[in-house]
Copies of this chain bind each other. A is one copy, B any other.
């Protein structure tokens, strides 16, 4: 059987580099090409190490391809791994659907800001949409028609064991120490505000078409998700927090070909759960309350990106991130009929959030 060809959008990021490692370990897959952003040094190393012939970056135009569309058109890969963070990732995911058979999706913003458009485009082009995120991959692996409720877990980020009264004093340095996952800066801050988890609830709402979603704080990150079935059965997805596992699954689905026989201990410390505090994570509850309002979700994402940037530059306090997001979302309430509408709401929200 011929190898399946893969294009990675966002090859130099955390998901991108782990995807490269996974493909190296798997049989039957090959890298058709990579797309990267500004990290030219890392991209050069990857191109050399993995002997990659086709690559594209909007920041460093390559002689072969003048646009992402041209690049994808030339390669027509079996699978596109979509791992460009932020609003750009949403746009490139949408573009990629036309040129592949499977979209393995890590970019949260794709479903958060454009869920209905992404799903419609996948349906029209007969493209499989497979989530990469550990929580959604877990639910995707357990989901069936009899699910009544979904549970996903959250680390609680760096603020989990801090007092609410101390939150406003936390610096970027404090926040960037994440207890479980080693990730990019924005997503690490988003873990601490639980904006990240609000995004995941929005994504789960799009992927599994239910708003019956509960979130528990779970320090070890060993339980990724669970489904509660109508008959009283619960299926739980358990394992080490290692993104390579759901990345591999998104490539090999419906089979499993990744060999990694390491499982966490069956011990109660790996099954510690508690409720999410509305005092500590107010913006999470706000995010959960707007899951069926697409315009507010777009504003939520845009304002968060701006607010996190401002926090990382030490322009604002940690607790101000949530305030900026909520204030921006409250300003927005629109019908979203097109990608142009998304772009416009995104632009307006960023501008608004910058000036709060």
Q: Which residues of A contact B (CB under 8 A)?
A: 141-142, 145-146, 148, 151, 216, 226, 228-240, 242, 245, 248-249, 255-264, 266-273
Contacts and interface: CB of A to CB of B under 8 A. Distances in A.
A238 B239 CA distance: 16
Contacts of A261: 148, 228, 230, 232
A147 to B, nearest CB: 10
B245 A233 contact: yes
Given A255-B146, A268-B271, A263 B232 contact: yes
Nearest to A274: B267
Contacts of A268: 268-269, 271-273
B229 A233 contact: no
B238 A236 contact: yes
A4 to B, nearest CB: 17
A234 B237 contact: yes
Nearest to A266: B273
B234 A263 contact: yes
A272 B256 CA distance: 29
Given A231-B257, A232-B260, A233-B249, 4 more contacts: A228-B261, A230-B259, A232-B239, A268-B273
A152 to B, nearest CB: 11
A76 B73 CA distance: 60
A304 to B, nearest CB: 28
Contacts of A151: 266
